[in-house]
Amino acid sequence: MATNELAKIVQDVLAELAKQGLVSPAIKEHVMSAAGMNTTLSPVAEEQMVSLVGADEILVDQPFNLDAIKAMKKVTTARIGIGRAGARPKTASWLKLLADHAVAQDAVFMDVSEDFLKRMNLYSVQTAVENKEQFLTRPDLGRRLSDEAVQTLLQRCEKNVQVQIIVVDGLSSTAIEANVADILPALSQGLKAAGIKVGTPFFVKYGRVGVQDEIAKLLNAEVIISLIGERPGLGTAESLSAYTIYRPNEKTVEADRTVVSNIHRGGIPPAEAGAHLVDLLKQILHAEASGVNLTRIS
């Protein structure tokens, strides 16, 4: 085998080890010496190896513009700079994809834990859905409360409040447990500090966005806001949304809702989102409108 071919093989191996954080200068020198080669890598290979150690899985072989890839990866979770092996993704990229897919599945199929609800002092009611499979296949049932839930809310909830907060599992239990502990106190305390009458928050299991309409009418709440788990993607399974509507009725459409989405540690920080939602709710109460109707008034 020609020396330059051997050098290429050794450099590729070192680059792969560097990606895993397993290469030190001493190891590099030892390996190169054992191969009977100069212990100095080419500038391109050296730059590639250094970048791979701390560049969040940049796997492109000798990238034309490494700085551009680094810059893009800082502002997006999209799978860029992952390289390929022939027509296929590299092993590390493929395994990461499978792992992220598993995380997304867990977010959908796992329930919010009872321990978490207890810590957050949230009592639980359930929609007309009977189990997780039915929840995924019958969205309409997730928009309706069970008969038992209706009775529970009539007995336990204060009526005629200005704002009713509900926490809804939606399509990501992970989003609830990752964000509610920060966003709910910021939201509740901010509203109370503003002199706004707030109902006691509670949790809705197997809920869809539309369940807020029935709850608002049942409790005669002026405004209802749902903190609900978003459908998880392969970039994050922790994203939460806040859906707000002013006095929903039988003519309500989705455009009547005001939505703040992408609430998570890599998007809008939950505590910051809570403060923003307080200001938003003040606007909705003042305008007596939400969604596109609020936009028109503003």
State the pLDDT at residue 12: 66
CA dist., res. 110 & res. 132, Å (int):
9
One-letter amino acid at 181 equals A
Share of the chain above pLDDT 90, in %: 58
Residue 145 lies in a domain: yes
One domain, residues 169 and 286:
yes
CATH of the domain at 141: 3.40.50.11240
The arithmetic mean of pLDDT across residues 118-124, rounded, is 96
Whether residue 234 lies inside any domain: the answer is yes
Pick from 83, 101, 127: which residue ends a domain? Answer: 83
Mark whether 164 and 288 lie in a shared domain.
Answer: yes
Q: pLDDT at position 57, please?
A: 63
* Assigned domain for 64 exists: yes
285 located within any domain: yes
Tens of pLDDT, residue by residue over 176-234, are 999 999 999 999 999 999 999 999 999 999 999 999 999 999 999 999 999 999 988 77
Give the per-residue pLDDT at 5: 61
Is 158 marked within a binding site?
no
Number of domains in the chain: 2
What per-residue confidence (pLDDT) applies to 46?
A: 45
Handedness of CA 172, 175, 178, 179 (dihedral sign): negative
Same domain for 227 and 146:
yes
pLDDT digits (tens, 9 = 90+) for 230-251: 988 777 889 999 999 999 998 8
So what's the pLDDT on residue 86? Answer: 86
Greater confidence (68 vs 122) lies with: 122
Q: Could you give the CA distance from residue 111 to residue 118 in angstroms, rounded to a whole number?
A: 14
| Residues contacting residue 288 through CB under 8 Å, at least 6 positions apart | 246, 247
pLDDT band, residue 48 (cuts 50/70/90): very low
6 pLDDT above the threshold of 80: no
Q: What are phi and psi of 62, to 5 degrees?
A: 45, 65
pLDDT in the model for residue 256: 96
Q: Is there a single domain that holds both residue 212 and residue 159? A: yes
Q: What is the pLDDT of residue 54?
A: 37
**Residue 120 burial by Cβ neighbours in a 10 Å radius (0-12, 13-18, 19+):** middle
Of the two residues 18 and 132, the one the predictor is more confident about is 132
Q: Residue 88 domain-assigned?
A: no
Annotated binding-site residue? 238? no
> Where does the pLDDT of residue 104 fall: very low under 50, low under 70, confident under 90, or very high at 90 and above?
confident
**Phi/psi at 57 (5° precision):** 65, 50
State if pTM tops 0.85: no
269 and 145 share one domain = yes
Residue 19 confidence (pLDDT): 57
One domain, residues 138 and 235: yes
In this prediction, residue 130 carries a pLDDT of: 95
Chain segment 54-88, per-residue pLDDT in tens: 345 677 777 888 888 888 888 777 788 888 888 88
Residue 156 sits in the same domain as residue 208: yes
| CB-CB neighbours of 20 under 10 Å | 10
Predicted local distance difference test score (pLDDT) of residue 168: 97
Same domain for 293 and 217, yes or no, is yes
Residue-range definition of the domain harbouring residue 275: 110-297
